[in-house]
Every structure is written in C-alpha cells, then in structure tokens.
C-alpha cells in the first residue's frame, strides 16, 4: 500500500471520527426538553403544576364521555391527564418540538390512543366539538378567544389557570389549590344556553329574559301585573330564577323549556319562545 493511500485512509478515519463527535454533541430529537419561561408565539412556556392540573379536571368533572381540547398544550400534561381519565383529548401547540415531546410523553403514559397533538395556531383551531377546555393562557389570549368560547355547546366547561376570561363573564366557581406558591388558582366557566327574549308560559303569562352570560334578569307579566325576575341563573341547559318567592327550575330544549316551580305549592311549568 502506498504512503499516499495510507495517508488518505488516515484522513478518512479522522473525518469519520470528527463527524461522529459532532453528531454526539448534537442533542437527539427525543432529548428535547423545554426551558421554563422560554418564549413562544403567544405565551411563554410555564407548565401548570400537576396537582393544579388534576384540580382543574376535577372542577370540570372530566369523564370518558368528554372531548378535551387544550390550546397552547405545551408538554401535553393537561391532555395526558384527561386521557388518563378516559376522555378523548387533543392538544394544539405552535412549537413543533413540544408537539413531538407531547406525543412521546403520551406514549410513555400509555394513553397515545386517546391523546392526540397537532401543530397549529390556537386562534385558528376548531374547538366547536370540545366539551372541556383546560387552559393556561394570558388575559389577552382569553379575551380574543372568548367569542369562540361562548359559541360552544351549552354545558361545555372552560377551566382557566390563574387568569379570568374577563369581559364581564364571571367564573361559576373559583378554587385555590394547596400547596400554593404560584399558578394555583383555577376558574371554572360553564357555557350557558342562549335564552334572551320573550317566552309565553302555559298559563298565558309572558316571561321576558335578559341575559348576560350565565346571569339572567327580566320580568314576569300576567295581564296588567308585572313582577321582576330575581336570582336568574343558567348552568348549561339548566335554568333557575325566582318570581314572587316561587323558585323556578327547569331545562331548556331549543325553543321550549319546562320544569317545576316550588313554593307554598309545587307546580309544573313550561314556556315557548315567541318569534316576532
């Protein structure tokens, strides 16, 4: 073998060793780990503590019947925790490395068949079929998404870590988890049915409902007598209000609703939405 040939082999060997060293110096794709506070498209990455995740899912009463969507799903912990409860769950995340990490975490947790992750913009995501949204977003993000939230199916639950949706939509429930150092207050919102308008009751009375998210006002009128409605509240398709110390509870079904009025005596009631 010539000296030139031997020298070429040595150079080739050195090049291969250098390439192997460079490859070893680069982190493998499955070694990616996010850094606390790292910037993202819309929010920095700060994970919800695991015990807060569980509290949020408890508040939303997540079961196997739910379809859970997390917007800005990060490392996938909300989605994976929901899938562990038997729910179908989807995470929408703009950082493709976090999407890959989430899929790996779901597989390691044994819930990959119920936990899906997609690379996408949370503001463009189709959330119309969601029954639960566990979120950790900034107030500006929540405010921008609020028009989509209110169009969800009545009874859908939104649970927000720390920040409120705002815009006059008050939480139905707020809870603080312990231990609590930071990011440990959860706000629950239940999407209400839309009932504003005039309803005709079976007894000939008129029920005028004014709605501000889950809160109801208005009046009850029979002949020339009008009485203000008190303590009006919506919980998904469930409705409750008081008229003259009578407590009305009922269920909304499209353009009709019915239930029971309780007071000195109990009586069934029903009403139909009037279209003018």
* Domain total in the chain: 2
Would you give the DSSP letter of residue 51? H
Whether residues 185 and 225 fall in one domain:
no
Residue 2: predicted pLDDT: 45
Would you give the DSSP letter of residue 7? H
Residue 135 near residue 109 (C-beta atoms within 8 A)? no
Confirm whether 143 is domain-assigned: yes
Whether residues 57 and 171 fall in one domain:
yes
Confirm whether 99 is domain-assigned: yes
* Cα torsion through 63, 66, 69, 73, rounded to 10: 20
Whether residues 218 and 165 fall in one domain:
no
Residue 28: predicted pLDDT: 45
Residue 92: predicted pLDDT: 98
Whether residues 170 and 185 fall in one domain:
yes
| Residue 212 CB coordination number (10 Å) | 13
Which residues lie across from 259 on neighbouring strands?
250, 269
Whether residues 204 and 182 fall in one domain:
no
User: Considering only CA atoms, which of 166, 274, 264 is closest in space to residue 213?
Assistant: 166
Whether residues 182 and 54 fall in one domain:
yes
Q: What is the pLDDT along the chain (276 residues), one digit of tens a residue?
A: 444 344 444 543 443 334 444 433 444 446 889 998 898 888 889 999 999 999 999 999 999 999 999 999 999 999 999 999 999 999 999 999 999 999 999 999 999 999 999 999 999 999 999 999 999 999 999 999 999 999 999 999 999 999 999 999 999 999 999 888 888 899 999 999 999 999 999 989 999 999 999 999 999 999 889 999 999 999 999 999 999 989 999 999 999 999 999 998 899 999 999 975
Give me the domain span that covers residue 144: 50-190
Whether residues 159 and 211 fall in one domain:
no
Looking at 133, 163, 190, the residue that finishes a domain is 190
For helices 50-59 and 77-84, give the axis angle rounded to 10 degrees: 50
Residue 8: predicted pLDDT: 40
Whether residues 102 and 221 fall in one domain:
no
CATH of the domain at 80: 3.40.50.150
Confirm whether 38 is domain-assigned: no
User: Considering only CA atoms, which of 222, 7, 260, 253 is closest in space to residue 154?
Assistant: 253
Whether residues 110 and 68 fall in one domain:
yes
Residue 237: predicted pLDDT: 98
Specify the pTM.
Answer: 0.85
Residue 30 near residue 107 (C-beta atoms within 8 A)? no
CATH of the domain at 255: 2.40.128.30
Confirm whether 32 is domain-assigned: no
């Amino acid at each position: 073998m010539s000296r030139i040939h031997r020298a070429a082999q040595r150079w080739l060997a050195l090049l291969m060793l250098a390439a192997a060293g460079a490859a070893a110096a680069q982190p493998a794709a499955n070694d990616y780990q996010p850094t606390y506070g790292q910037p993202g498209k819309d929010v920095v990455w700060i994970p919800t503590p695991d015990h807060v995740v569980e509290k949020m899912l408890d508040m939303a009463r997540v079961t196997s019947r739910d379809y859970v969507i997390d917007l800005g799903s990060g490392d996938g912990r909300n989605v994976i925790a929901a899938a562990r409860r038997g729910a179908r769950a989807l995470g929408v995340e703009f950082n493709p490395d976090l999407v890959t990490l989430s899929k790996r975490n779901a597989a390691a947790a044994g819930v990959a068949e119920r936990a899906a992750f997609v690379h996408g913009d949370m503001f463009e995501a189709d959330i119309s079929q969601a029954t639960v949204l566990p979120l950790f977003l900034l107030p500006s993000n929540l405010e921008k998404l609020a028009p989509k939230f209110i169009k969800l199916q009545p009874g859908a639950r939104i649970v927000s870590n720390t920040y409120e949706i705002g815009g006059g939509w008050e939480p139905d429930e707020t809870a603080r988890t312990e231990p609590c150092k930071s990011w440990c207050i959860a706000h629950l919102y239940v999407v209400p049915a839309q009932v504003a308008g005039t309803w005709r009751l079976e007894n000939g009375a008129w029920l005028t409902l004014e709605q501000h998210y889950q809160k109801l006002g208005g009046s009850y009128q029979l002949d020339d007598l009008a009485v203000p409605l008190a303590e009006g509240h919506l919980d998904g398709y469930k409705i409750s209000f008081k008229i003259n110390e009578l407590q009305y509870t009922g269920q909304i079904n499209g353009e009709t609703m019915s239930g029971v009025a309780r007071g000195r005596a109990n009586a069934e009631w029903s009403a139909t939405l009037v279209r003018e």
